[in-house]
A and B are shown apart, each in its own frame.
Chain A
Protein backbone atom coordinates (compact mmCIF):
# COMPACT_ATOMS: atom_id res chain seq x y z
CA UNK A 1 0.00 0.00 0.00
CA UNK A 2 1.43 3.35 -1.02
CA UNK A 3 1.55 5.97 1.64
CA UNK A 4 -1.33 8.41 1.45
CA UNK A 5 -0.31 11.76 -0.03
CA UNK A 6 -1.11 15.26 1.12
CA UNK A 7 -1.71 18.35 -1.01
CA UNK A 8 0.04 21.65 -0.32
CA UNK A 9 -3.14 22.87 1.43
CA UNK A 10 -3.48 19.88 3.76
CA UNK A 11 -2.66 21.79 6.97
CA UNK A 12 -5.27 24.42 6.07
CA UNK A 13 -8.00 21.80 5.77
CA UNK A 14 -7.07 20.41 9.17
CA UNK A 15 -7.08 23.89 10.69
CA UNK A 16 -10.56 24.49 9.29
CA UNK A 17 -11.77 21.27 10.93
CA UNK A 18 -12.57 19.50 7.66
CA UNK A 19 -13.78 15.93 7.61
CA UNK A 20 -10.91 14.20 5.78
CA UNK A 21 -11.00 11.02 3.72
CA UNK A 22 -8.75 9.25 1.20
CA UNK A 23 -9.47 10.05 -2.45
CA UNK A 24 -7.27 9.16 -5.40
CA UNK A 25 -4.36 8.40 -3.08
CA UNK A 26 -4.61 11.73 -1.24
CA UNK A 27 -6.00 12.66 2.17
CA UNK A 28 -8.67 15.11 0.98
CA UNK A 29 -11.36 17.29 2.59
CA UNK A 30 -14.87 15.88 2.10
CA UNK A 31 -16.63 18.77 3.83
CA UNK A 32 -15.82 21.70 6.09
CA UNK A 33 -19.30 22.55 7.41
CA UNK A 34 -21.84 20.47 5.50
CA UNK A 35 -22.28 19.33 1.92
CA UNK A 36 -25.59 21.11 1.34
CA UNK A 37 -24.33 24.58 2.37
CA UNK A 38 -21.14 24.13 0.35
CA UNK A 39 -23.10 22.92 -2.69
CA UNK A 40 -25.44 25.91 -2.51
CA UNK A 41 -22.55 28.36 -2.12
CA UNK A 42 -21.24 27.21 -5.51
CA UNK A 43 -24.67 27.30 -7.18
CA UNK A 44 -25.52 30.78 -5.90
CA UNK A 45 -22.31 32.61 -4.91
CA UNK A 46 -18.78 31.20 -4.89
CA UNK A 47 -16.78 28.32 -3.45
CA UNK A 48 -13.13 27.27 -3.56
CA UNK A 49 -11.90 23.69 -3.90
CA UNK A 50 -8.44 22.29 -3.31
CA UNK A 51 -7.86 20.25 -6.46
CA UNK A 52 -4.11 20.03 -6.07
CA UNK A 53 -4.46 16.25 -6.16
CA UNK A 54 -5.09 16.45 -9.92
CA UNK A 55 -2.15 15.44 -12.10
CA UNK A 56 -0.36 17.70 -14.59
CA UNK A 57 1.77 16.44 -17.46
CA UNK A 58 3.65 18.66 -19.91
CA UNK A 59 4.10 17.35 -23.46
CA UNK A 60 6.72 19.04 -25.61
CA UNK A 61 8.89 18.23 -28.62
CA UNK A 62 8.68 18.32 -32.39
CA UNK A 63 5.95 15.66 -32.51
CA UNK A 64 3.95 16.93 -29.52
CA UNK A 65 0.80 17.77 -31.47
CA UNK A 66 0.95 14.58 -33.52
CA UNK A 67 1.46 12.60 -30.31
CA UNK A 68 -1.44 14.21 -28.43
CA UNK A 69 -3.65 13.52 -31.47
CA UNK A 70 -2.55 9.87 -31.20
CA UNK A 71 -3.44 9.35 -27.52
CA UNK A 72 -6.41 11.76 -27.19
CA UNK A 73 -9.96 11.42 -28.60
CA UNK A 74 -10.76 15.07 -29.24
CA UNK A 75 -9.31 16.94 -32.24
CA UNK A 76 -6.75 19.60 -31.39
CA UNK A 77 -5.51 20.13 -34.95
CA UNK A 78 -4.92 23.77 -35.80
CA UNK A 79 -6.18 25.07 -32.45
CA UNK A 80 -4.87 28.43 -31.27
CA UNK A 81 -2.72 28.65 -28.14
CA UNK A 82 -4.91 29.34 -25.11
CA UNK A 83 -7.58 26.81 -26.07
CA UNK A 84 -8.60 23.84 -23.90
CA UNK A 85 -10.09 20.52 -24.98
CA UNK A 86 -11.91 17.88 -22.97
CA UNK A 87 -11.62 14.26 -24.08
CA UNK A 88 -10.33 10.82 -23.20
CA UNK A 89 -7.38 8.51 -23.62
CA UNK A 90 -8.61 5.10 -24.72
CA UNK A 91 -7.36 1.54 -24.78
CA UNK A 92 -7.46 -0.20 -28.15
CA UNK A 93 -10.69 -1.85 -26.87
CA UNK A 94 -12.36 1.57 -26.62
CA UNK A 95 -12.38 1.36 -22.81
CA UNK A 96 -11.21 4.51 -21.07
CA UNK A 97 -7.71 5.03 -19.63
CA UNK A 98 -8.76 8.42 -18.25
CA UNK A 99 -10.69 11.56 -19.08
CA UNK A 100 -8.61 14.72 -19.18
CA UNK A 101 -8.16 18.31 -20.25
CA UNK A 102 -5.59 19.30 -22.86
CA UNK A 103 -4.37 22.90 -22.68
CA UNK A 104 -2.60 24.13 -25.80
CA UNK A 105 0.20 26.36 -24.50
CA UNK A 106 1.92 26.85 -27.82
CA UNK A 107 3.18 25.19 -30.95
CA UNK A 108 3.97 21.60 -29.89
CA UNK A 109 3.50 22.42 -26.21
CA UNK A 110 0.57 20.90 -24.30
CA UNK A 111 -0.43 20.80 -20.65
CA UNK A 112 -2.54 17.77 -19.73
CA UNK A 113 -4.64 17.63 -16.56
CA UNK A 114 -5.50 14.11 -15.41
CA UNK A 115 -7.31 12.43 -12.52
CA UNK A 116 -5.39 11.99 -9.25
CA UNK A 117 -6.12 8.28 -8.94
CA UNK A 118 -4.79 7.70 -12.46
CA UNK A 119 -1.54 9.71 -12.42
CA UNK A 120 0.86 6.75 -12.39
CA UNK A 121 -1.23 4.66 -14.76
CA UNK A 122 -1.66 7.55 -17.22
CA UNK A 123 2.00 8.52 -17.13
CA UNK A 124 3.00 4.91 -17.87
CA UNK A 125 0.43 4.77 -20.66
CA UNK A 126 1.72 7.99 -22.20
CA UNK A 127 5.30 6.75 -22.12
CA UNK A 128 4.45 3.32 -23.55
CA UNK A 129 2.63 4.90 -26.46
CA UNK A 130 5.25 7.50 -27.28
CA UNK A 131 7.55 5.18 -29.21
CA UNK A 132 8.48 6.71 -32.54
CA UNK A 133 7.39 10.20 -31.48
CA UNK A 134 9.86 12.99 -30.82
CA UNK A 135 8.30 14.08 -27.52
CA UNK A 136 9.20 14.75 -23.91
CA UNK A 137 6.59 13.69 -21.36
CA UNK A 138 7.12 15.45 -18.07
CA UNK A 139 5.02 14.49 -15.05
CA UNK A 140 4.83 17.78 -13.11
CA UNK A 141 2.05 16.70 -10.76
CA UNK A 142 4.05 17.15 -7.59
CA UNK A 143 5.22 20.66 -8.31
CA UNK A 144 1.77 22.10 -9.08
CA UNK A 145 -0.94 23.21 -6.73
CA UNK A 146 -4.42 23.87 -8.08
CA UNK A 147 -7.56 25.51 -6.79
CA UNK A 148 -10.96 25.65 -8.49
CA UNK A 149 -12.94 28.83 -7.78
CA UNK A 150 -16.50 28.13 -8.84
CA UNK A 151 -19.85 29.87 -8.86
CA UNK A 152 -21.64 32.84 -10.44
CA UNK A 153 -19.50 35.32 -8.47
CA UNK A 154 -16.15 33.61 -9.11
CA UNK A 155 -15.01 36.16 -11.70
CA UNK A 156 -15.83 39.05 -9.38
CA UNK A 157 -13.93 37.64 -6.41
CA UNK A 158 -10.88 36.61 -8.44
CA UNK A 159 -10.62 40.10 -9.89
CA UNK A 160 -11.43 42.05 -6.71
CA UNK A 161 -9.68 39.93 -4.10
CA UNK A 162 -6.75 38.43 -6.03
CA UNK A 163 -6.36 41.29 -8.49
CA UNK A 164 -6.14 38.74 -11.32
CA UNK A 165 -7.96 39.90 -14.43
CA UNK A 166 -10.06 37.10 -15.89
CA UNK A 167 -13.30 38.53 -17.28
CA UNK A 168 -11.96 38.38 -20.84
CA UNK A 169 -11.39 34.61 -20.68
CA UNK A 170 -13.95 32.63 -22.63
CA UNK A 171 -15.23 29.22 -21.55
CA UNK A 172 -12.54 26.56 -22.08
CA UNK A 173 -9.72 29.04 -22.64
CA UNK A 174 -6.81 30.00 -20.41
CA UNK A 175 -3.93 32.41 -20.08
CA UNK A 176 -0.58 32.40 -18.37
CA UNK A 177 0.42 35.46 -16.41
CA UNK A 178 3.12 36.75 -14.16
CA UNK A 179 2.18 36.91 -10.47
CA UNK A 180 5.08 38.01 -8.30
CA UNK A 181 8.08 36.10 -9.55
CA UNK A 182 6.22 33.16 -11.07
CA UNK A 183 4.12 32.39 -14.09
CA UNK A 184 0.69 31.02 -13.17
CA UNK A 185 -2.07 29.61 -15.34
CA UNK A 186 -5.76 30.49 -15.07
CA UNK A 187 -8.52 28.84 -17.09
CA UNK A 188 -12.27 29.28 -17.34
CA UNK A 189 -13.08 25.68 -16.54
CA UNK A 190 -14.51 23.59 -13.74
CA UNK A 191 -16.43 20.55 -12.68
CA UNK A 192 -19.56 22.01 -11.11
CA UNK A 193 -21.82 23.15 -13.96
CA UNK A 194 -21.33 26.75 -12.85
CA UNK A 195 -19.14 29.48 -14.23
CA UNK A 196 -15.71 29.38 -12.65
CA UNK A 197 -11.97 29.22 -12.95
CA UNK A 198 -9.08 26.95 -12.15
CA UNK A 199 -5.74 28.38 -11.08
CA UNK A 200 -2.50 26.41 -11.41
CA UNK A 201 0.76 27.48 -9.84
CA UNK A 202 3.43 26.67 -7.31
CA UNK A 203 2.54 25.44 -3.84
CA UNK A 204 3.30 28.92 -2.48
CA UNK A 205 1.00 30.59 -5.00
CA UNK A 206 -1.75 28.05 -4.27
CA UNK A 207 -1.45 28.63 -0.52
CA UNK A 208 -1.56 32.39 -0.79
CA UNK A 209 -4.51 32.24 -3.23
CA UNK A 210 -6.39 30.03 -0.78
CA UNK A 211 -5.62 32.32 2.14
CA UNK A 212 -6.73 35.45 0.32
CA UNK A 213 -10.00 34.02 -0.98
CA UNK A 214 -10.97 32.10 2.15
CA UNK A 215 -9.68 34.87 4.42
CA UNK A 216 -11.92 37.41 2.68
CA UNK A 217 -14.92 35.62 4.14
CA UNK A 218 -16.58 35.83 0.71
CA UNK A 219 -15.47 32.53 -0.83
CA UNK A 220 -16.56 29.36 0.93
CA UNK A 221 -14.15 26.43 1.29
CA UNK A 222 -15.81 23.46 -0.38
CA UNK A 223 -14.93 19.78 -0.08
CA UNK A 224 -15.01 16.87 -2.48
CA UNK A 225 -18.45 15.90 -1.13
CA UNK A 226 -20.17 18.79 -2.87
CA UNK A 227 -17.79 18.60 -5.83
CA UNK A 228 -19.39 15.23 -6.50
CA UNK A 229 -23.00 16.36 -5.95
CA UNK A 230 -22.41 19.41 -8.18
CA UNK A 231 -20.82 17.55 -11.10
CA UNK A 232 -23.38 14.78 -10.83
CA UNK A 233 -26.40 17.09 -11.08
CA UNK A 234 -25.26 18.47 -14.42
CA UNK A 235 -24.45 15.00 -15.78
CA UNK A 236 -20.66 15.26 -15.77
CA UNK A 237 -18.90 11.89 -15.55
CA UNK A 238 -16.47 10.78 -12.84
CA UNK A 239 -13.77 8.33 -13.86
CA UNK A 240 -14.45 5.16 -11.88
CA UNK A 241 -18.22 5.71 -11.96
CA UNK A 242 -19.36 6.67 -15.47
CA UNK A 243 -16.06 5.97 -17.27
CA UNK A 244 -13.59 3.14 -16.72
CA UNK A 245 -11.37 0.66 -18.51
CA UNK A 246 -14.61 -1.24 -19.06
CA UNK A 247 -16.81 1.70 -20.17
CA UNK A 248 -16.29 3.49 -23.49
CA UNK A 249 -17.13 7.17 -24.04
CA UNK A 250 -19.88 6.08 -26.45
CA UNK A 251 -21.53 4.00 -23.72
CA UNK A 252 -21.13 6.98 -21.39
CA UNK A 253 -22.89 9.27 -23.87
CA UNK A 254 -19.73 11.30 -24.46
CA UNK A 255 -19.34 10.57 -28.17
CA UNK A 256 -19.18 14.29 -28.94
CA UNK A 257 -15.66 14.31 -27.46
CA UNK A 258 -14.49 11.43 -29.66
CA UNK A 259 -13.69 12.66 -33.14
CA UNK A 260 -13.85 9.62 -35.36
CA UNK A 261 -13.17 11.80 -38.41
CA UNK A 262 -9.59 12.24 -37.14
CA UNK A 263 -7.14 10.14 -39.18
CA UNK A 264 -6.03 8.09 -36.20
CA UNK A 265 -6.06 7.71 -32.41
CA UNK A 266 -5.74 4.76 -30.04
CA UNK A 267 -9.13 3.08 -29.69
CA UNK A 268 -10.56 4.54 -32.87
CA UNK A 269 -11.37 1.19 -34.50
CA UNK A 270 -13.31 -0.02 -31.48
CA UNK A 271 -15.25 3.25 -31.27
CA UNK A 272 -16.08 3.22 -34.98
CA UNK A 273 -17.32 -0.34 -34.59
CA UNK A 274 -19.51 0.64 -31.62
CA UNK A 275 -20.91 3.57 -33.53
CA UNK A 276 -21.65 1.35 -36.55
CA UNK A 277 -23.00 -1.72 -34.74
CA UNK A 278 -24.68 0.16 -31.92
CA UNK A 279 -24.01 -0.24 -28.21
CA UNK A 280 -25.42 -2.86 -25.88
CA UNK A 281 -25.15 -0.74 -22.72
CA UNK A 282 -25.64 2.95 -22.08
CA UNK A 283 -25.35 5.38 -19.20
CA UNK A 284 -28.75 6.97 -18.65
CA UNK A 285 -30.35 9.20 -16.07
CA UNK A 286 -33.09 7.82 -13.80
CA UNK A 287 -35.43 9.90 -11.71
CA UNK A 288 -37.16 8.12 -8.84
CA UNK A 289 -40.74 8.66 -7.72
CA UNK A 290 -39.76 8.88 -4.06
CA UNK A 291 -36.83 10.17 -2.02
CA UNK A 292 -34.97 6.89 -1.45
CA UNK A 293 -31.36 7.23 -2.55
CA UNK A 294 -29.92 5.08 -5.31
CA UNK A 295 -26.19 4.62 -4.73
CA UNK A 296 -23.26 3.34 -6.77
CA UNK A 297 -23.60 -0.38 -7.48
CA UNK A 298 -27.31 -0.77 -6.71
CA UNK A 299 -29.22 -2.89 -9.23
CA UNK A 300 -31.62 -1.44 -11.79
CA UNK A 301 -34.43 -3.82 -12.66
CA UNK A 302 -37.31 -4.21 -15.10
CA UNK A 303 -39.93 -6.93 -14.54
CA UNK A 304 -37.75 -8.66 -11.95
CA UNK A 305 -34.72 -8.82 -14.24
CA UNK A 306 -31.52 -6.92 -13.47
CA UNK A 307 -30.73 -4.63 -16.44
CA UNK A 308 -27.81 -2.69 -14.99
CA UNK A 309 -26.32 -0.82 -12.05
CA UNK A 310 -26.33 2.67 -10.63
CA UNK A 311 -23.05 4.53 -11.29
CA UNK A 312 -23.73 7.64 -9.16
CA UNK A 313 -26.87 8.62 -7.27
CA UNK A 314 -28.03 11.24 -4.81
CA UNK A 315 -30.98 13.09 -3.53
CA UNK A 316 -30.17 16.06 -5.78
CA UNK A 317 -29.51 19.07 -3.58
CA UNK A 318 -30.56 21.61 -6.22
CA UNK A 319 -33.80 19.88 -7.24
CA UNK A 320 -34.76 17.82 -4.17
CA UNK A 321 -35.36 14.79 -6.40
CA UNK A 322 -33.71 11.40 -5.97
CA UNK A 323 -31.84 10.77 -9.20
CA UNK A 324 -29.03 8.64 -10.50
CA UNK A 325 -26.94 7.81 -13.49
CA UNK A 326 -26.88 4.11 -14.32
CA UNK A 327 -25.21 1.85 -16.85
CA UNK A 328 -28.05 -0.25 -18.23
CA UNK A 329 -28.98 -2.58 -21.07
CA UNK A 330 -29.40 -0.31 -24.09
CA UNK A 331 -32.77 -1.88 -24.88
CA UNK A 332 -34.15 0.17 -21.99
CA UNK A 333 -32.42 3.47 -22.71
CA UNK A 334 -35.40 5.26 -24.21
CA UNK A 335 -36.50 8.34 -22.25
CA UNK A 336 -39.59 7.61 -20.18
CA UNK A 337 -38.94 3.86 -19.81
CA UNK A 338 -40.24 2.64 -16.44
CA UNK A 339 -37.50 1.02 -14.34
CA UNK A 340 -36.94 0.13 -10.70
CA UNK A 341 -33.92 0.52 -8.45
CA UNK A 342 -33.33 -1.89 -5.56
CA UNK A 343 -32.55 0.13 -2.44
CA UNK A 344 -32.22 -1.61 0.94
CA UNK A 345 -33.96 -4.73 -0.42
CA UNK A 346 -37.01 -2.78 -1.63
CA UNK A 347 -37.78 -1.81 -5.22
CA UNK A 348 -38.32 1.88 -5.94
CA UNK A 349 -39.86 2.92 -9.22
CA UNK A 350 -38.58 5.60 -11.55
CA UNK A 351 -38.20 6.52 -15.19
CA UNK A 352 -35.31 6.93 -17.59
CA UNK A 353 -34.55 10.60 -18.10
CA UNK A 354 -31.82 12.89 -19.39
CA UNK A 355 -28.60 12.78 -17.40
CA UNK A 356 -28.69 16.52 -16.91
CA UNK A 357 -30.77 16.88 -13.78
CA UNK A 358 -29.91 20.56 -13.40
CA UNK A 359 -29.11 23.06 -16.14
CA UNK A 360 -25.51 24.22 -16.45
CA UNK A 361 -24.82 27.92 -16.04
CA UNK A 362 -21.64 28.33 -18.01
CA UNK A 363 -20.62 31.73 -19.28
CA UNK A 364 -20.02 31.29 -22.97
Chain B
Protein backbone atom coordinates (compact mmCIF):
# COMPACT_ATOMS: atom_id res chain seq x y z
CA UNK B 1 0.00 0.00 0.00
CA UNK B 2 1.45 3.31 -1.09
CA UNK B 3 2.21 5.85 1.61
CA UNK B 4 0.31 9.15 1.74
CA UNK B 5 1.37 11.93 4.12
CA UNK B 6 -1.03 14.28 5.89
CA UNK B 7 -0.50 18.00 5.44
CA UNK B 8 0.80 17.85 1.86
CA UNK B 9 -1.06 18.90 -1.28
CA UNK B 10 -1.50 16.44 -4.15
CA UNK B 11 -2.24 16.40 -7.91
CA UNK B 12 -4.10 13.85 -10.00
CA UNK B 13 -0.87 13.29 -11.91
CA UNK B 14 0.77 12.15 -8.64
CA UNK B 15 2.97 15.08 -7.71
CA UNK B 16 2.99 16.48 -4.19
CA UNK B 17 3.86 19.87 -2.78
CA UNK B 18 4.92 20.47 0.79
CA UNK B 19 4.47 24.11 1.75
CA UNK B 20 6.83 25.89 4.16
CA UNK B 21 6.15 29.60 4.40
CA UNK B 22 6.41 31.13 0.93
CA UNK B 23 8.14 28.06 -0.51
CA UNK B 24 6.86 24.75 -1.86
CA UNK B 25 8.86 21.50 -2.17
CA UNK B 26 7.61 19.55 -5.20
CA UNK B 27 8.16 15.87 -5.90
CA UNK B 28 6.37 12.69 -6.92
CA UNK B 29 4.34 10.58 -4.55
CA UNK B 30 5.12 7.16 -3.17
CA UNK B 31 2.32 5.78 -5.35
CA UNK B 32 3.94 7.32 -8.45
CA UNK B 33 7.35 5.79 -7.71
CA UNK B 34 5.76 2.39 -7.08
CA UNK B 35 4.05 2.53 -10.47
CA UNK B 36 7.16 3.71 -12.31
CA UNK B 37 9.56 1.11 -10.92
CA UNK B 38 13.30 1.79 -10.80
CA UNK B 39 13.86 5.51 -11.32
CA UNK B 40 17.09 5.99 -13.28
CA UNK B 41 17.00 9.65 -14.28
CA UNK B 42 15.28 12.85 -13.27
CA UNK B 43 15.13 15.65 -15.81
CA UNK B 44 15.03 18.68 -13.50
CA UNK B 45 14.39 22.34 -14.19
CA UNK B 46 17.08 24.94 -13.56
CA UNK B 47 17.23 27.46 -10.75
CA UNK B 48 15.43 30.70 -11.73
CA UNK B 49 13.14 28.85 -14.19
CA UNK B 50 9.53 29.96 -13.98
CA UNK B 51 7.07 27.10 -13.52
CA UNK B 52 3.31 27.24 -13.99
CA UNK B 53 0.65 25.20 -12.24
CA UNK B 54 -0.62 22.47 -14.56
CA UNK B 55 2.39 22.67 -16.88
CA UNK B 56 5.33 20.35 -17.42
CA UNK B 57 8.56 21.13 -15.56
CA UNK B 58 10.63 18.02 -16.22
CA UNK B 59 10.43 14.25 -16.36
CA UNK B 60 11.10 11.20 -14.27
CA UNK B 61 12.46 8.24 -16.14
CA UNK B 62 12.30 4.63 -15.09
CA UNK B 63 14.21 1.90 -16.91
CA UNK B 64 11.34 1.41 -19.31
CA UNK B 65 9.56 4.73 -19.68
CA UNK B 66 9.61 8.49 -19.29
CA UNK B 67 6.90 10.25 -17.32
CA UNK B 68 6.34 14.00 -17.51
CA UNK B 69 6.35 16.03 -14.32
CA UNK B 70 3.47 18.51 -13.98
CA UNK B 71 3.93 21.39 -11.58
CA UNK B 72 1.22 21.68 -8.90
CA UNK B 73 2.12 25.33 -8.31
CA UNK B 74 3.32 28.47 -10.06
CA UNK B 75 6.46 30.35 -9.11
CA UNK B 76 10.20 30.53 -9.46
CA UNK B 77 12.53 27.58 -8.96
CA UNK B 78 14.94 28.50 -6.16
CA UNK B 79 16.60 25.12 -5.70
CA UNK B 80 16.70 21.68 -7.32
CA UNK B 81 17.56 18.49 -5.48
CA UNK B 82 21.02 17.89 -6.89
CA UNK B 83 21.39 14.64 -4.97
CA UNK B 84 19.03 13.10 -7.53
CA UNK B 85 21.54 13.71 -10.32
CA UNK B 86 23.83 10.99 -9.01
CA UNK B 87 21.28 8.96 -7.09
CA UNK B 88 17.85 9.11 -8.76
CA UNK B 89 17.00 5.83 -7.01
CA UNK B 90 16.50 7.86 -3.81
CA UNK B 91 13.01 8.54 -5.17
CA UNK B 92 12.25 4.82 -4.92
CA UNK B 93 13.66 4.70 -1.39
CA UNK B 94 11.60 7.64 -0.07
CA UNK B 95 9.68 9.68 -2.61
CA UNK B 96 8.38 12.27 -0.13
CA UNK B 97 11.78 12.97 1.45
CA UNK B 98 13.39 13.35 -1.97
CA UNK B 99 11.62 16.35 -3.42
CA UNK B 100 12.68 17.45 -6.92
CA UNK B 101 12.41 21.25 -6.85
CA UNK B 102 11.86 24.05 -4.34
CA UNK B 103 9.63 26.80 -5.69
CA UNK B 104 9.03 30.32 -4.42
CA UNK B 105 5.25 30.39 -4.72
CA UNK B 106 3.76 33.25 -6.70
CA UNK B 107 0.13 32.49 -5.89
CA UNK B 108 -0.70 30.55 -2.75
CA UNK B 109 -4.40 30.56 -3.61
CA UNK B 110 -3.60 27.85 -6.19
CA UNK B 111 -3.14 25.41 -3.32
CA UNK B 112 -6.88 25.31 -2.77
CA UNK B 113 -7.27 23.59 -6.17
CA UNK B 114 -5.06 20.67 -5.07
CA UNK B 115 -6.12 17.56 -3.17
CA UNK B 116 -5.49 16.86 0.47
CA UNK B 117 -4.15 13.53 1.71
CA UNK B 118 -7.58 12.04 2.15
CA UNK B 119 -8.78 12.89 -1.34
CA UNK B 120 -5.51 11.71 -2.87
CA UNK B 121 -5.68 8.40 -1.03
CA UNK B 122 -9.02 7.79 -2.75
CA UNK B 123 -7.59 8.12 -6.28
CA UNK B 124 -4.74 5.73 -5.47
CA UNK B 125 -7.18 2.92 -4.71
Q: Which residues of chain A have a CB within 8 Å of any CB of chain B?
A: 19, 30-31, 34-36, 225, 229, 291-293, 295, 314-315, 317, 322, 343-344, 346
Contact = CB atoms under 8 A, between A and B. Distances in A.
Interface stretch (B17-25, B37-45, B96-104, B112-120): B37-45
A292 B85 CA distance: 10
Contacts of B38: 34-36
B37 A34 contact: yes
Contact of B63 (A292, A315, A346): A315
Contact of A36 (B43, B61, B63): B63
Nearest to A320: B40
B63 A344 contact: no
Contacts of B40: 291, 293, 315
Question: Which 5 A-B pairs have CB atoms at the shortest separation, nearest pair first?
Answer: A315-B40, A35-B63, A36-B38, A293-B61, A291-B41
Given A225-B63, A293-B66, A315-B41, 13 more contacts: A34-B37, A36-B38, A225-B64, A291-B88, A292-B43, A293-B41, A295-B66, A315-B40, A315-B61, A315-B63, A343-B43, A344-B43, A344-B66
A325 to B, nearest CB: 16
A344 B41 contact: no
Contacts of A322: 41
B43 A35 contact: no
A36 B41 CA distance: 14
B37 A35 contact: yes
A31 B43 CA distance: 24
Contacts of B41: 291-293, 315, 322
Contacts of A36: 38, 63
A31 B85 CA distance: 25
Contacts of B61: 293, 315
B59 interface: yes
Contacts of B58: 344
Nearest to B62: A35
A317 B40 CA distance: 9
B66 A229 contact: no
A229 B40 CA distance: 13
Nearest to B61: A293
A45 to B, nearest CB: 19
A317 B63 contact: yes
A117 B12 CA distance: 35
A347 to B, nearest CB: 13
A314 B63 contact: yes
B63 to A, nearest CB: 4
6 contacts: A36-B38, A229-B63, A291-B41, A292-B41, A315-B63, A344-B66
Interface in B59-103: 59, 61, 63-64, 66, 85, 88
Contacts of A225: 63-64
Contacts of A34: 37-38
A86 B107 CA distance: 62
Given A35-B38, A315-B40, A315-B41, A291 B85 contact: yes
A35 B85 contact: no
A324 to B, nearest CB: 13
Contacts of A315: 40-41, 61, 63
A222 to B, nearest CB: 13
Nearest to A322: B41
Contacts of A31: 37
Contacts of A343: 43
Nearest to A228: B64
Contacts of B64: 30, 35, 225
A229 B59 CA distance: 21
